[in-house]
Structure 1
């Protein structure tokens, strides 16, 4: 039997406690070859996201992985950013305040890095997007061939069967840059979207976190300490003794899509008004009479179901491993 080469992955990220879980999960997964991290804002400002990404690479002994810093604001330069320090702590890592990284980001701008790697490995690169889609939208605008050359884009974003987590209409990553999200969703790339209707089904209980804290895994104590702040947020915001595994679930989708079922259709994003950031998914077969902004747009895959127990267990297995 021929050996299957690891999947080349770039992680576009705003670490972020669950980003940290996803990144370390990827480093613990021989099926994935992480060829770069690109940084964006969201859970923290972009510059802090860069420092956290460098720190996580050092923690994993993967200083060889290039970290490329992305845009500091939304694609159109919105004056007000939404930074989720109340979810992830002022340092993005649960107020654990790790030491400054010894390494530095590469000089290449994140959208240019994405274009460079996609052109270097056409059809082979999977981009796992864990924050607002600003860097990807910029890459689409800079290189008209980008969408066709990228192997796949796996996105954490949108709320397709539940209310949003920023407000009733919008999920955080899409809300962070609705214009960028809309550009990416209709760019023509091979896209799989994991919405929070999926990730809210995948969680660790308080007992799972205690198991993490007692384990002798390579990253288990680190993640347990970082997750205390995250767990407190979930208790206050959702009244649950558990944490949602948004970003690591999305990484699992890149690793093993068989754990999810999907539907195909066109996704658009509301740009203005009270529902700014709303994701609308049209997977009907109806042919509409009126010509509109929905017509002749590329379809993408949206996750509909998840084997939540298996995904949660797989994340736990990898993150408590030596």
Structure 2
């Protein structure tokens, strides 16, 4: 009986563009008994999607977890944009610091990332958390593919937005939101239980000069109590010089006019972080892996 009473481990799917910090985040998740990684979905961002898939397969092989499926995600933005912003100048041409690993033995599953997300959410309604570490195209596609997805998915914890601080692509925008602002606006307003972790919070989680953006987001799935949150409607600017800007309506001001924030579902946005404990947890689990 005891194990029935024990809290169910949280099923998570990591939507990822590996990336060195994504690799750390994936290893932290795999070493966290609080969560069960049931799949990786891939997206462009640090690298193009094809390479993201290859890197995801490689990381699972390194971790000895080839039982975990990898579903390849979109190669273009939600509006079919092909001019992608790829941050290979940060992560090396292969996304993992130019280590020139041999090609992985494994292959992605036949399903697209969006189809896999929809399937898992409907198999385990309310039980699956998506940890989104890249642009939000796959998640937006899932909401288009299945009108029930927003209801079926347990939670979407996403790395995105700058919320009242300057962005890291330009003064307005954070990289993941900037990668596909139209998809981001669709996700923020889809009605799912969403927790946005912006760089205003992840910039506080620093390991001797390296920001632990992606691992911090996994930690929010592992132990949400290490962060505080505010709640409101988030909209994303999709054009002009502030394209990618995330604006949170904090409900403290009442507007006379009808606005683009009216009648939209609210989401949670992280405000503070116990950075010391997050770094400690990430380091312990990386050392274990």
Q: Shorter-chain TM-score: which interval?
A: over 0.9
Deviations 1:253-276 (A, max 9, x none): 011000000000010000111000
Secondary structure of the corresponding residue to residue 56 of structure 2: helix
Cα offset, 1:284, TM superposition: 2.3
The unaligned stretches of length 5 or more in structure 1 are 206-241
Deviations 1:234-254 (A, max 9, x none): xxxxxxxx1000000000001
Question: Which residue number in structure 2 is paired with residue 200 of structure 1?
Answer: 203
Q: How far, CA to CA, are the matches of 2:154 and 2:30 in structure 1?
A: 20
1:263 aligns with 2:266: no
Deviations 1:212-246 (A, max 9, x none): xxxxxxxxxxxxxxxxxxxxxxxxxxxxxx10000
Question: Which residue number in structure 1 is paired with residue 120 of structure 2?
Answer: 117
Question: Which residue number in structure 2 is paired with residue 313 of structure 1?
Answer: 280
Secondary structure of the corresponding residue to residue 262 of structure 1: strand
1:280 aligns with 2:247: yes
Question: Which residue number in structure 2 is paired with residue 185 of structure 1?
Answer: 188
Cα offset, 1:292, TM superposition: 1.9
Cα offset, 1:186, TM superposition: 0.6
Q: How does 1:228-307 map to 2 (within 5 A)?
A: 242-307=209-274
Secondary structure of the corresponding residue to residue 42 of structure 1: coil
Cα offset, 1:77, TM superposition: 1.2
Secondary structure of the corresponding residue to residue 106 of structure 1: coil
Relative to the length of structure 2, the TM-score reads 0.97
Deviations 1:14-44 (A, max 9, x none): 0000000000111111111100000000000
Match for 1:144 among 144, 147, 151? 147
Q: How far, CA to CA, are the matches of 1:193 and 1:262 in structure 2?
A: 9
Cα offset, 1:95, TM superposition: 1.0
Cα offset, 1:287, TM superposition: 2.9
Q: How far, CA to CA, are the matches of 1:194 and 1:154 in structure 2?
A: 7
Cα offset, 1:143, TM superposition: 0.7
Question: Which residue number in structure 2 is paired with residue 238 of structure 1?
Answer: none
Q: How far, CA to CA, are the matches of 1:97 and 1:297 in structure 2?
A: 46
> Aligned Cα RMSD in Å?
0.8
Question: Which residue number in structure 1 is paired with residue 163 of structure 2?
Answer: 160
Question: Which residue number in structure 2 is paired with residue 100 of structure 1?
Answer: 103
Cα offset, 1:96, TM superposition: 1.1
Q: Number of residue pairs matched?
A: 286
Deviations 1:61-119 (A, max 9, x none): 10000000011011111131100011111000011121110000000011000000000
Cα offset, 1:161, TM superposition: 2.8
Question: Which residue number in structure 2 is paired with residue 53 of structure 1?
Answer: 56
The unaligned stretches of length 5 or more in structure 2 are none
Q: How does 1:220-231 map to 2 (within 5 A)?
A: none
- Matched-pair contact (CA < 8 Å) for 2:75–2:82: no
Q: How far, CA to CA, are the matches of 1:88 and 1:246 in structure 2?
A: 14
1:21 aligns with 2:24: yes
